[in-house]
Structure 1
Amino acid sequence: MAPDPYAWEWNAEALLAIPALSIGYVWAVRRFSAPGWRIACFGAAMLLLLAVTVTPVETIGLNYLLTIHLIQNVVLAEWAPALAVLGIAPTLAALAPRVPPVPALLLWLGNYAVWHLPWIYDAALRNPHTLLHLEHALYFATGVLLWWPVVHGAHSPGLKAGYLFAAFALASPIGLLLALIPDAVYDFYVDAPERLWGLSPLTDQQIAGVTMALEQAAVFFAAFALYITRFFREQDALD
């Protein structure tokens, strides 16, 4: 029997991982005070994680539509990690090991690419209580590594801008390929129990690819614009 697409689903991520992260953050804030805006950022990260793991986003993405699953993935790999890293106080971040930008970027990119290989992608969806949880955990962990040098690194604004541009340039082909490939590549969605919203597997894949490419352009360009503006301001101040 096909699951109700609009059902809410409580799973290990919502019941264990997100509460554990939240409790750990509360403990850290008691020792390393953080301003209200940082606490709000971390809280927003946890709310985003809940939004994509317990709402119908989870049910639809894990049973019916690639587009919704990719939206879930970008939240796990980009949005939530960025907000979580912003939520960490500099006094606490200073105690963490230094995160070199190039390895951080390569780990995030490699993880992102591997999980989108068709046979691995399908395997994760067919094993939602094991492999899929690992996928989600690695998305979030490598996402934290990706954003750490940007938020807490001591690099110049120019280097941070270049790093963000590289992240976009290297990651965007994944979405573009999904949009341009003439056949549906994920058997899991080809075999979906029903065609939700009237979308064929190929149309769903094309929308998913375009959505992912546009999302990454928006996120990374916004961050790039922030740091390139800071870079030019620094150059003007030196003149």
Structure 2
Amino acid sequence: MSTSTQIGQSSALFADVIRERRSVRVYDKSVRLSHEEIKEMLKEATLAPSSSNVQPWRFLVIETEELKEKLQPIAYNQSQVTEAAAVIAVLGDMEGYKKLGEIFGESVKRGYMTEDTAKPFVERSINTYASLPEERMHKVLHIDGGIVSQQLMLVARAHGYDTVPMAGYDEAEFKKAFNISERYVPIMLIALGKAAKPGHPTTRLPIDDITFFNEMPAN
């Protein structure tokens, strides 16, 4: 099948999901999500790619009224914090690479690769990550955390829920208030729930203004 045919047959459902996703800031406070629903959405979100398949993302689900009220001033009093069913704190694990043996051991069990292939890859990768400067590790965690966050927002929309990503919060106070150790790097907060008011439609720059083939313009 040619590439052009594959593009022409892209899923209409997926197109609906990406077009209907909005950053929603007003939520129906009566809507609550079960742990099973949240875990199912997170499970689908974690099908996202990550560097060396380390999957360094970790999720703190903040759902009780008491804890959401505790979080609200830390998040500069954004109303969606207490209105949404939950706020998902996406964190990056500085020691996530230590699970590579477990991750690739499972791949071997399932027949996705041989042990002879997996073992040296795991050893090399662990040594590489263990020697990364902190700044470089933070960059990796933010890239992987950003990817899984976007996937989570699309998954939520596919399940009929709404989200808004939040970078506006006091990171130091957040870590202190929720007992988050230095091992974990906060990436973003994502409000999750059901819109009481639709998110505003937005526009995008023309693709011809932001896409360059083979070389960048002089200015």
Tell me the TM-score normalized by structure 1. Answer: 0.29
The structure with the largest helix share of the pair is: 1
Largest Rg, 1 or 2: 2
The structure with the largest strand share of the pair is: 2
Tell me the TM-score normalized by structure 2. Answer: 0.30
Bigger relative contact order (CA 8 A; separation at least 6): 2
